[in-house]
């Protein structure tokens, strides 16, 4: 959508600046309060209240920086890329409003360097705004696009802070949290791109409008990336609380029998086939299953895939995607992957199942970031949901389905070090 089309559909954003210092401040507080009343939760995966995060940054004396995080390194996720390709100005509006709300003078949009179409549409949208003399959004605000490596942990908040400071896109030891001390040691508000699009809409239409959709604990609509054996996999906008079966129906229906759904991405959890029809897309519903919507990723696994072979491949992939910074994660995820591989191969001598439980407790909460926790969460849920299949493999070795091609996406994205970034294209 061009700037002209965007303005024709949504109208101009109710900007907060340029009304005099005191009025600007009041307007900023009102917007944050409105976002608080809307119940908007962050859409990057953690579902943290957006207004709380904004208040933490706004409360600091130092000039803040806002980052729109669209790195979206989760393999099953396309929603932020899709959003920035279809409606970049909505995300930019949200970013500008967030910047004005927390008193920031810089807005940095971070996109994965491998997402060429997203980089292009975002860059074009920024250029359009720069060239439009009537567009007041840039008063006192520097707006820039930065491309970031796309490996799994690159999208974490502290990885962005690290990368933008000239380091590798790897997590930092926290605290200080980015909202206290982030880019240029300034308080940094890092919001997911979809979150900012909702901010842009709430600023225009208000909290009651936003709350018309969704559940009590999770208001509004959400972008969900649905993949698997479907007629039309892709990104869908749903109401929180909608049933998974309605989502599958919207995607043209399943093309094969479904074994299970992975919800919340590769730090998420599996929900077994017999419960699939009843799944509601909200954290209230998913919590008892050990799952959450995360960044809105749903991957359906067909009956023709072997869940043990898929889990073994995924465990190895998650181990390889570690930044290699923290010993317990580096060694622990490697040992976990080896144990799953032994089960998949039918090696019962290893007592691998007990070892997995022990390793899981050794790895959890011992990294600088949450990568080991997410990987363990996923692995334990696979062992639980596919209990029968794992027991079969431990006893009898590989099954007929083991040799089939992988259904779960596992892109080859080497974890990049700082040294390798010099040649990369940047804006």
Partner 1 sequence: MSHRVRVNPIACEAHGMCAELLPERITLDEWGYPVIDETPVAGVALEHAIRAARACPTFALLVERERDRRRA
Binding residues vs partner 1 (CB under 8 A): 48, 52-53, 56, 171-173, 175, 177, 179-180, 325-329, 331-332, 362, 366-368
Q: How far apart are CA 240 and CA 221, in angstroms?
A: 6
Distances from the Cα of 421 to the Cα of 68, 147, 173, 183, 416, angstroms? 21, 11, 21, 18, 8
Minimum distance, C-beta of residue 236 to partner 1, in the bound complex (Å): 30
Residue closer to partner 1, measured from CB, 38 or 188: 188
- As given in the structure block, the two tokens for residue 400 are 């007929």
Total Cβ atoms within 10 A of residue 418: 13
Minimum distance, C-beta of residue 315 to partner 1, in the bound complex (Å): 18
In b/e form, how buried is each residue of 4-14, taking b as 16+ CB within 10 angstroms? Answer: eebbeebeebe
Q: Which three-class secondary structure string do you get for 384-406?
A: HHCHHHHHHHHHHCCCCCCCCCC
Residue closer to partner 1, measured from CB, 53 or 198: 53
Minimum distance, C-beta of residue 251 to partner 1, in the bound complex (Å): 35
Residue closer to partner 1, measured from CB, 172 or 222: 172
Minimum distance, C-beta of residue 61 to partner 1, in the bound complex (Å): 16
Total Cβ atoms within 10 A of residue 49: 15
Residue closer to partner 1, measured from CB, 149 or 332: 332
- Residue 161 belongs to what H/E stretch? helix 157-164
Minimum distance, C-beta of residue 399 to partner 1, in the bound complex (Å): 31
Residue closer to partner 1, measured from CB, 21 or 61: 61
Residue closer to partner 1, measured from CB, 177 or 213: 177
Residue closer to partner 1, measured from CB, 27 or 53: 53
User: Which residues have C-beta within 8 Å of that of residue 198, sequence separation ≥ 6?
Assistant: 38, 40, 43, 50, 94, 210, 220
Strand 221-227 vs strand 297-302: parallel, antiparallel, or unpaired?
parallel
Q: How far apart are CA 268 and CA 363, in angstroms?
A: 16
Residue closer to partner 1, measured from CB, 175 or 388: 175
- DSSP 8-state secondary structure symbol assigned to residue 243: B
Minimum distance, C-beta of residue 238 to partner 1, in the bound complex (Å): 27
Minimum distance, C-beta of residue 329 to partner 1, in the bound complex (Å): 8
Dihedral over Cα of 287, 152, 299, 353: its sign? negative
Minimum distance, C-beta of residue 177 to partner 1, in the bound complex (Å): 5
Minimum distance, C-beta of residue 176 to partner 1, in the bound complex (Å): 9
Q: How far apart are CA 316 and CA 378, in angstroms?
A: 13
Minimum distance, C-beta of residue 326 to partner 1, in the bound complex (Å): 4
Residue closer to partner 1, measured from CB, 11 or 175: 175
Taking the CA of residue 359 as centre, how many other CA atoms within 13 Å lie in the half-sphere pointing to its CB?
26
- As given in the structure block, the two tokens for residue 2 are 């061009």
CB 1 within 8 A of CB 88: yes
**Residue with tokens 């920086």, as numbered in its chain:** 65
Residue closer to partner 1, measured from CB, 328 or 346: 328
User: Which residues have C-beta within 8 Å of that of residue 205, sequence separation ≥ 6?
Assistant: none
Residue closer to partner 1, measured from CB, 48 or 209: 48
Q: How far apart are CA 220 and CA 205, in angstroms?
A: 12
Q: How far apart are CA 243 and CA 213, in angstroms?
A: 14
Minimum distance, C-beta of residue 10 to partner 1, in the bound complex (Å): 30
- Residue 119 belongs to what H/E stretch? helix 116-131
Burial classification of residue 398, based on how many CB atoms lie within 10 Å of its CB (0-12 exposed, 13-18 middle, 19 or more buried): middle
């Amino acid at each position: 959508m061009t700037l002209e089309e965007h303005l024709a559909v949504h109208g101009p954003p109710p900007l907060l600046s340029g009304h005099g210092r005191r009025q600007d401040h009041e307007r900023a507080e009102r917007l944050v309060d409105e976002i608080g009343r809307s119940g908007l939760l962050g859409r990057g995966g953690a579902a943290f209240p957006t207004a709380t995060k904004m208040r933490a940054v706004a409360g600091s004396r130092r000039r803040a920086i806002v980052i729109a995080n669209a790195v979206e390194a989760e393999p099953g996720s396309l929603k932020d890329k899709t959003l920035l390709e279809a409606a970049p100005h909505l995300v930019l509006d949200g970013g500008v409003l967030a910047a004005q709300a927390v008193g920031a003078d810089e807005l940095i949009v971070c996109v994965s360097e491998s997402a060429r179409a997203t980089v292009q549409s975002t860059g074009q949208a920024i250029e359009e705004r720069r060239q439009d003399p009537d567009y007041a959004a840039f008063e006192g605000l520097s707006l820039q696009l930065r491309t970031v490596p796309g490996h799994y942990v690159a999208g974490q908040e502290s990885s962005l802070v690290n990368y933008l400071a000239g380091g590798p896109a790897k997590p930092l030891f926290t605290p200080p949290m980015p909202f206290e001390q982030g880019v240029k040691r300034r308080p940094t508000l890092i919001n997911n791109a979809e979150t900012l699009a909702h901010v842009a809409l709430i600023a225009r239409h208000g909290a009651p409008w936003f709350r018309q959709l969704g559940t009590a604990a999770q208001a509004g609509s959400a972008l969900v990336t649905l993949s698997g054996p479907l007629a039309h996999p892709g990104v869908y906008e749903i109401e929180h609380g909608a049933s998974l079966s309605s989502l599958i129906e919207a995607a043209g229906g399943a093309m094969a029998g479904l074994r299970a759904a992975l919800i919340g991405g590769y730090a998420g959890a599996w929900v077994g086939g017999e419960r699939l029809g009843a799944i509601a897309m909200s954290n209230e519903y998913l919590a008892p299953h050990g799952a959450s919507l995360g960044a809105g990723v749903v991957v359906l696994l067909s009956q023709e895939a072997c869940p043990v072979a898929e889990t073994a491949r995924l465990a190895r992939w998650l181990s390889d995607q570690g930044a290699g910074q923290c010993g317990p994660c580096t060694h622990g995820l490697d040992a976990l992957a080896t144990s799953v591989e032994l089960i998949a191969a039918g090696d019962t001598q290893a007592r691998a199942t007990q070892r997995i439980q022990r390793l899981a407790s050794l790895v959890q909460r011992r990294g600088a970031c949450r990568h080991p926790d997410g990987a363990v969460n996923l692995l334990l849920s696979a062992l639980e949901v596919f209990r029968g299949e794992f027991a079969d493999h431990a006893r009898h070795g590989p099954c007929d389905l083991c040799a089939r091609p992988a259904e779960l996406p596992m892109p080859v994205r080497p974890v990049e070090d700082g040294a390798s970034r010099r040649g990369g294209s940047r804006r």
